[in-house]
Structure 1
Amino acid sequence: MSLQKPVMRGLLARRLRFHLPIAIAIGLTSAVSFKYMVTEPRKRAYAEYYKHYDVNKEFNAMREAGVFESVQPTGK
């Protein structure tokens, strides 16, 4: 009694025929879910932040804190 030899011819093609569509579906699902669960809320948060952001107020606060060496704080 001997064991049957494994069929090696076309093994990769058969495995890919089964696994490739699954891998593509998982990849697309991951990409779409990442886009709508991570990047879209992040873009909305940045838009909301910069809607009320005052550049001059931020610059004056950093100047008063002494962040810039070339700009002297007012009042000194």
Structure 2
Amino acid sequence: MSSALLVKPQMRGLLASRLRKHMIIAFIISFGCASLYKFGVTEPRKRAYAEFYKNYDAMKQFEAMRDAGVFESVPPKGS
């Protein structure tokens, strides 16, 4: 009588059914992580670089470093 109450375990196709379920879950989690990284890291970084280079003057920066003596091969402006 108690054997009629128990459900038989799935013996065939167990790996395929579980693999299908876990692959869907893995895809959703990886897509979520990729989205969070894109919108949480790369987009703010792109905006920061764009804002920095909007007003960046390379020659002015070079002259400031040259006058500070950063470069060994370029003499300061006064020399």
**What TM bracket, shorter-length normalisation?**
0.7 to 0.9
1:74 aligns with 2:72: no
Which residue does the alignment assign to 2:6? none
Q: How many residue pairs end up in the alignment? A: 71
CA RMSD of aligned residues (A): 1.6
- Is the counterpart of residue 16 in structure 1 residue 43 in structure 2? no
Which runs of 5 or more structure 2 residues have no equivalent in the other structure? 1-8
- Which residue is 2:58 aligned to? 55
Q: List, as ranges, runs of 4+ consecutive aligned residues in structure 1 with deviation greater than 4 Å.
A: 6-9
Are positions 1:36 and 2:39 aligned together?
yes
Q: Unpaired segments of 5 or more residues in structure 1?
A: 1-5
Q: Residues 12-32 of structure 1, C-alpha deviation per residue, up to 9 Å, x if partnerless?
A: 212202111000001111111
Percent identity reads 63
Q: TM-score, normalised by structure 2?
A: 0.78
CA distance in 1, matches of 2:12, 2:42: 45
